[in-house]
Amino acid sequence: MATIEDVAKLAGLSRTTVSRVINNHPYVSEAKKQLVIEAMKQLGYVPNSSARSLRNQKTEMIAVIIPRVMNPFFGQLVESLEIAASEYHYQLIVCQTLYSAKKELDYLNLLKTKQVDGVILTTLLNDWKQIEPFLDYGPIVLCNEYDQKANIPMVHIDQEYGGYVATTHLIDQGHMRIAYCCGNIKSNVTKAREKGFRKAHFEHGLQIDSKLVFQNVFTFEDGKKVLQKLTALDNRPTAIFTGSDEVAAGVISEAKKLGIDVPTQLAVVGYDNQAITELLDPMITTVHQPVKEMAHKAMNVMMNQIKYKNYKTKEVYQLPLSLIIRNSTCLKSPERLN
């Protein structure tokens, strides 16, 4: 394997000059650069990026901490973050917690041990007081999740409005008994959506039946189980607002199996506007989140944090969302699910 000394010998230059070319030192003539580049090509020499990173005190790596890789929303968010990172010549490390608070702290140690230049948190499983000390080692950006106590940049969506607009749509369609599914109950995203759900009920003078509220619902299978529980009730709902398109798809799949018509017997609203919403029959009414825009903004903020090293400054960027109405919601007087 060729070494930097071999490159210097072939190019007829000193090791120091070759090193300067590799590290883009400004005071090297174009002629010498070309000699080094040609020698590297002939020898098949590849610079040691780890050694360069140590000298530059940069890894050119960003860690993104997510709860589930299989969740379509987080899958799209990771893809968008990776594309944004590559525009800055950075690479992305994906860290899956499976909703483990311990794993979240373990992954944050990547920042402490200088294995990454920054961390993007898409969920927040620990109290902010446990997260804050890691800012002594590098930047942390919240993307999707947020915490008012955190003194760092946050890029997120108005989740309360998302819960409100989705629920209001169902009420406007004539639904008065609406089931609700939410994800991680400790998440501020989840809390905000439920606040919007409750606000819509309050404004229309409707009561919420606690039997129709389901917590820690995440997957396609969870959606199927929720519908099974709903069908066991004497006074069943005519609509359901789920916390994700994945859950909504599970509800619709089980409804077909049980002979329940969507939307005339049960209206279904998802969240995220993932590809699956247009693949099912009926297509799913859902809340659209601008995932690509959110990812690019978060990465832009992260690069500024790395550049200016101002890790403990609170910045809040809130992006708009919208309701996409499709065939899974009832557009006429709802029939009771029997």
- Judged against a pLDDT cut of 70, whether residue 293 lies above it is answered with yes
pLDDT in tens, 92-127: 999 999 999 999 999 999 998 889 999 999 999 999
Parallel, antiparallel, or unpaired: how do β-strands 286-288 and 322-324 relate?
Answer: antiparallel
Share of the chain above pLDDT 90, in %: 77
Residue 330, pLDDT > 80, answer no
Cβ proximity of 111 and 123 under 8 Å: no
Q: Please give the single-letter amino acid code of residue 86.
A: S
Predicted model pTM: 0.79
* Separation between Cα atoms, residue 37 and residue 15, nearest integer Å: 14
333 near 171, Cβ under 8 Å?
Answer: no
Mean of all residue pLDDT scores within the chain: 91
pLDDT score, position 87: 94
3-state secondary structure at position 141:
strand
Instruction: Give the whole-angstrom CA distance, residue 9 versus residue 20.
Output: 15
Cα-based distances in Å from 126 to 46, 53, 132, 214, 321: 41, 31, 10, 22, 27
Which pLDDT tens digit goes with each residue over 34-73?
A: 898 899 888 888 776 555 554 556 889 999 999 999 888 9
Confidence (pLDDT) at 154: 97
User: Is residue 131 a contact partner of residue 142, using CB atoms and an 8 Å limit?
Assistant: no
* Tokens linked to 313: 């400054």
- Taking the alpha carbons at both ends of the chain, their separation in whole angstroms is 74
What's the whole-number mean pLDDT along residues 24-31? 79
